[in-house]
Amino acid sequence: MARELFTDDAITEKSDVYSFGMVLLEVVCGRKYITMPAEREFLEKPVEEKVDASIKGKIAPKCWEVFIDITKRCVMYEPDERPTMGEVEVQLEHALSLQEQADITNTNGDYTLPSTTVIHPGAELVYSTEDSDTEEM
């Protein structure tokens, strides 16, 4: 849950954005993203290593970059740093468009995700891209 729900006990558009970001993580990972303390190592692994097996290799790298960027922005600690739902919608539509374009031209089969993203919902986020020769969007 968004931290402000614990302190202000008020549901806002920004707390909804946080919740939606958590749903996006759960969909891509195929399980709840928040884990018990005994599963702490789950949060330490990059999201790319937690992608559900049924969609692993099917996500185009450019689509993933847009998807993971908007997802991590949704789960930012400060509500003012989160996007609006309208912005989330636009970015997800853009990610879908990139996926569709990539699928039309892909002749290599499975995709490989070029980045490692560690997301601790509601905390400082770490994002690094290891693929330096991808073209700009």
CATH number of 3-129: 1.10.510.10
Smallest CA-to-CA distance from 117 within 55, 53, 43 is with: 43
Q: What is the pLDDT of residue 39?
A: 66
Q: How confident is the model at residue 133 (pLDDT cuts 50, 70, 90)?
A: very low
Q: Report pTM.
A: 0.79
Report the alpha-carbon distance of residue 78 to residue 6 in Å, rounded.
Answer: 13
Residues 6-52 pLDDT 10s? 677 678 899 999 999 999 999 999 988 775 666 677 778 888 988 99
What average pLDDT does range 106-131 have in this prediction?
A: 69
Rg for the chain (alpha carbons), in Å?
15
Q: What is the pLDDT of residue 95?
A: 98
